[in-house]
Amino acid sequence: MSVAELKARLDAGGAPPVLLDVREPWELGICTLPGTVHIPMGQVSARIGELDPARETVVICHHGVRSFHVARLLQAQGFGNVVNLRGGVDAWAREIDIQMATY
């Protein structure tokens, strides 16, 4: 999913997807999308029970690499509606919210 597609999805209303941010805590201190659930990539397997496999889930990281791997892990664990945010928060900051800090 592109950042433009996510923005449109969030603006459309209705039940929002779970925004799963898999970055490290220090990264969230720099920038984050509002309403995210934070589980660092290295903890997802141990904390998978905190997530609902029936919910639409958008996995987010800095550039989209870590989130791609976590999305595949979730799919392998039976999550049916999981997508990776291409370009991550970096793309969001550059294309959607130019006030957002980058790193």
Tens of pLDDT, residues 30-72 = 999 999 999 999 999 999 999 999 999 999 999 999 999 999 9
Provide the whole-model pTM: 0.95
DSSP string, 41-71: GGGHHHHGGGS-TTS-EEEE-SSSHHHHHHH
Whether 61 is a known active-site residue: answer yes
Q: Would you call 33 exposed, middle or buried from its count of C-beta atoms within 10 A (0-12, 13-18, 19+)? A: buried
How far apart CA 59 and CA 68 sit, in angstroms, is: 7
pLDDT tens-digit series, residues 66-97: 999 999 999 999 999 999 999 999 999 999 99
Answer yes or no: is 102 within a domain.
Answer: no
Answer yes or no: is 21 within a domain.
Answer: yes
Answer yes or no: is 15 within a domain.
Answer: yes
How far apart CA 89 and CA 81 sit, in angstroms, is: 20
- The average pLDDT across 4-22 equals 95
Answer yes or no: is 101 within a domain.
Answer: no
Residue 81 lies in domain: 3-95
**CB proximity list for 27: less than 8 A, separation 6 or greater:** 62, 103
Q: What is the pLDDT of residue 58?
A: 98
Mean pLDDT over the full length of the chain: 96
Domain count across the chain: 1
Q: What is the pLDDT of residue 14?
A: 87
Q: Which candidate in 1, 51, 59, 61 is catalytic?
A: 61
Answer yes or no: is 28 within a domain.
Answer: yes
Answer yes or no: is 103 within a domain.
Answer: no
Answer yes or no: is 100 within a domain.
Answer: no
Q: What is the pLDDT of residue 13?
A: 86
Query: How far is the first Cα of the chain from the last one, in angstroms, to the nearest whole number?
Result: 21
Answer yes or no: is 14 within a domain.
Answer: yes
Percent of the chain with pLDDT over 90: 96
CATH of the domain at 63: 3.40.250.10
